[in-house]
A and B are shown apart, each in its own frame.
Chain A
Amino acid sequence: MADPLLNVEDLRTYFSTEEGVVKAVDGVSFKVDAGERRGVVGESGCGKSVTAMSIMRLIEPPAGEIVTGKVEFDGRDLLKLTEADMQQVRGGDIAMIFQDPMTALNPVYTIGDQLIETILLHQDVSKSEARDIAITALDDVQIPHAGKVMEDYPHQFSGGMRQRVMIAMGLSCEPKLLIADEPTTALDVTTQAQIMNLMLELAEQRNTAVLLITHDLGVVAGFCDSIQVMYAGSIVERGTGDEIFHNPQHPYTWGLLGSMTRLDESQQERLNSVRGAPPSLINPPTGCRFGPRCDFAQDICREALPILHQSQEGQKVACHRSDELDLKSIAIGATS
């Protein structure tokens, strides 16, 4: 098989605060192939966004720092590039779409100005060619009257329209990887579906790999080829959508799925919740990070940190007891 497009190895990003060092991302490794759609899920503060920011090298010193790791993209280690080279990668090879489209556009410039700026930064074209590319990009994201809209300011747009503009901007330079950091969180549900479908379609046409960060399991279920679940700065389970959704191996994934409303399963009285709160990232618990919240924790879980390994079911999982537990057959909520 060909080399992966993105190869992250043992990435560690720490933030120094007054209380101590926050290990926001602590030893994350994964690969994304060209054209693959990868979902990253987890609770708030589990390091999803920091992972994305680290790949783009948008973590700002002195507050945060990538301590160790390797981010290989298209054969180059991004962490070793100069800032000038990195600026070419950002927006050119890797594009990023942000959570809140209401604030991600600069209010003092027109939509057209901002699209053209991005295109001129990364492509060797004249201003009028850049304009044409921008209009095509707006057409592609199904914004009506693209030529006219170029002269509009962001405040004249609704949230969904702005997110379309952000997608147009992200895809205008034909990136190989699109990182979408909770792109639909700020939108209402009907718009969410439209935006996700649009992104899916455009990424597929261009064979762009997508790294979709979200805490919405419903979004990844319909959208992603593979899913990785993060907890407290590391990956606890990774597999295909089917594997994760129908046969979770890690108790945390199992808990997350239980907390989700589903139409295809029998109605429950109450939704399950994962008890407790995410651990401190300054002094993480010894042993399994999830141990203190886990219904199945045993002595070994309190002593040794489980590593990500191949489970019998196919996916990778970081749990000492994944092989002996048959989570599929345990009714959610039965243990609590």
Chain B
Amino acid sequence: MTERESASEAILDVAEGISAEPITQWDLFVTRLRRHRLATIAFFYMGFIGFVALLAPLFTCQKDDTFCGRGPVEMSGLTTVLMLATALLVGYFAYRSFVSKLRGMAVALTFVTVVLGIFLVSSWGLLDVPHVNHYADQLPDESGRILVNIAPRGSIPLGTDDLGRDVLARVIHGGRASLAVGLVVGALVALLGTVIGSLAGYYPGVVDQSLMRFTDLVLGLPLLPVAIVVGRVLPELQFLPGFLKQGAWGIAVLVGLLVWGALARIVRAEFLSLREKEFVEAARAAGASDRRIIFRHILPNALSPIIVQTTLIVGTAIILEAALSFLGFGVRPPIPTWGGMAASGASIAVRGFWWELVFSAGALISTVLAINFIGDGLRDALDPTQTIERK
């Protein structure tokens, strides 16, 4: 007996020696995510895009005496290189802070807070005023002529459009609309989908039935026609605050209110299966209240599909905003958006001026792809049934 006890003690000691540093769920998550190469690259890319879009006004108005006023704007080669280099650094920083341990968490949180702060402050003013074309002005040559439809070259890396505006500047600014839509829709969908889905999943009967029938109703709405009609009416509504009537915010809220249904269904399904689990029963038998069971015991277990699905919906929402803008019902010109630029780019592309279409559409596609890769990577990384082979 004592022999056996000492043997098991020895085994425990050895085991302790191996796992001197305990492996947390976060470590497992990060390790799995790192192994997903596309997702890693996508994270990097989104950090880059986010930073570029965020500081857009600083980069494209540097020659102006009144910040963001009308006037000749030129992207010098040096500025461009500087900007891209900074953005790449930020992208790398975002990625590093995301994957490194505990300290990285704090850094990442600070980073996200700062980013969101700057984003909100800067975009508020920008997307609010539609009629001043203050971010991407016409480029005159030495003799003062406006240069329209110039192919990409040195100081104008992505060329100019049919009004002589710098395409790079507009692509950068266009990203703001897409990211605004992405953020707002993501937040709105996560909130609506999770709350409605969990209530429906946890309380069977009347609550479930009425919430899910409402969800069916919203899911049943034809997305594009409804968005077109509401998008058209939006600016006319007197009671709406100004920022919702113009620019990307209104569209973002509209899209968000239309696409939460899928998430609500997934969350409900998760809750239906989780609420029958014994640990929920055990929590109830230990005296936990409904609220505690929903938020502390069930929701954390349903978090993976919520994160993944929300990420994927963000991609869809950005596409939807672009489609609306392409059709002319989204963000109004001259505010640049990728969808709007693709529309005007398409009309001149047939004459051989391909760059506006290609670069705006390219930015859109790569961003949505990156978001989907992130969703994919998160799905793999958050799957608790997956184990890591140790090398």
A positions within 8 Å CB-CB of B: 56, 58, 62, 84, 87-92, 95-96, 98-100, 103-109, 117-118, 121-122, 144-145, 148, 151-153, 155, 166, 169
A106 touches B288 (CB 8 A): no
Number of residue pairs A-B, CB distance < 8 angstroms: 74
Is B384 located at the chain interface by the 8 A CB criterion?
yes
Sampled A-B contacts (15; CB under 8 Å): A58-B284, A62-B204, A62-B205, A87-B288, A95-B285, A103-B278, A103-B279, A105-B279, A106-B300, A106-B301, A107-B301, A107-B384, A108-B300, A109-B300, A152-B22
Q: Chain B residues near A98: list those with CB within 8 A.
A: 278, 281-282, 285
In angstroms, Cα B296 to Cα A153, docked, is: 16
Q: Mark B261-298, 1 if CB is under 8 A from A, else 0.
A: 00000000000000001110111111111000000110
A144 touches B285 (CB 8 A): no
Instruction: Tell me the smallest distance from the CB of B26 to a CB of chain A, in Å.
Output: 12
A103 touches B277 (CB 8 A): yes
B287 touches A92 (CB 8 A): yes
A100 touches B278 (CB 8 A): yes
Among A95, A100, A104, A144: residue with most chain B CB under 10 A:
A104
A166 touches B281 (CB 8 A): no
Is B25 located at the chain interface by the 8 A CB criterion?
yes
Q: Chain B residues near A148: list those with CB within 8 A.
A: 16
Contact of A121 among B204, B205, B278, B288 (CB under 8 A): B288
In angstroms, Cα B283 to Cα A56, docked, is: 12
B285 touches A153 (CB 8 A): no
A104 touches B287 (CB 8 A): no
In angstroms, Cα B8 to Cα A90, docked, is: 36
Interface size on B, residues (CB 8 A): 25
A87 touches B289 (CB 8 A): yes
User: B299: nearest residue on chain A (CB-CB)?
Assistant: A108
Q: Which 4 A-B pairs have the closest CB atoms?
A: A91-B286, A91-B287, A96-B285, A90-B287
Q: Chain B residues near A103: list those with CB within 8 A.
A: 277-279
A105 touches B282 (CB 8 A): yes
What would 6 more interface pairs be, CB under 8 Å, given A87-B287, A96-B285?
Answer: A88-B287, A103-B279, A106-B301, A145-B12, A166-B282, A169-B286
In angstroms, Cα B282 to Cα A30, docked, is: 24
Among A98, A99, A108, A153: residue with most chain B CB under 10 A:
A108
Instruction: Tell me the smallest distance from the CB of B159 to a CB of chain A, in Å.
Output: 52
User: A144: nearest residue on chain B (CB-CB)?
Assistant: B12
A106 touches B286 (CB 8 A): no
In angstroms, Cα B287 to Cα A56, docked, is: 10
Instruction: Tell me the smallest distance from the CB of A242 to a CB of chain B, in Å.
Output: 32
Among B22, B204, B285, B296: residue with most chain A CB under 10 A:
B285
Q: Chain B residues near A151: list those with CB within 8 A.
A: 22
User: A106: nearest residue on chain B (CB-CB)?
Assistant: B279
Contact of A108 among B205, B285, B301 (CB under 8 A): B301
Instruction: Tell me the smallest distance from the CB of A191 to a CB of chain B, in Å.
Output: 15
Instruction: Tell me the smallest distance from the CB of B207 to a CB of chain A, in Å.
Output: 12
Instruction: Tell me the smallest distance from the CB of B145 to a CB of chain A, in Å.
Output: 65
User: A119: nearest residue on chain B (CB-CB)?
Assistant: B286
Q: Chain B residues near A153: list those with CB within 8 A.
A: 25
Instruction: Tell me the smallest distance from the CB of B384 to a CB of chain A, in Å.
Output: 7
A106 touches B297 (CB 8 A): yes
In angstroms, Cα B285 to Cα A121, docked, is: 12
A90 touches B384 (CB 8 A): no
B279 touches A104 (CB 8 A): yes
Q: Chain A residues near B9: list those with CB within 8 A.
A: 144
B285 touches A56 (CB 8 A): yes
Q: Chain A residues near B278: list those with CB within 8 A.
A: 98-100, 103-104
Q: Chain A residues near B287: list those with CB within 8 A.
A: 87-92, 118, 121-122
Q: Chain B residues near A89: list those with CB within 8 A.
A: 287
Q: Chain A residues near B288: list those with CB within 8 A.
A: 87, 91, 117, 121
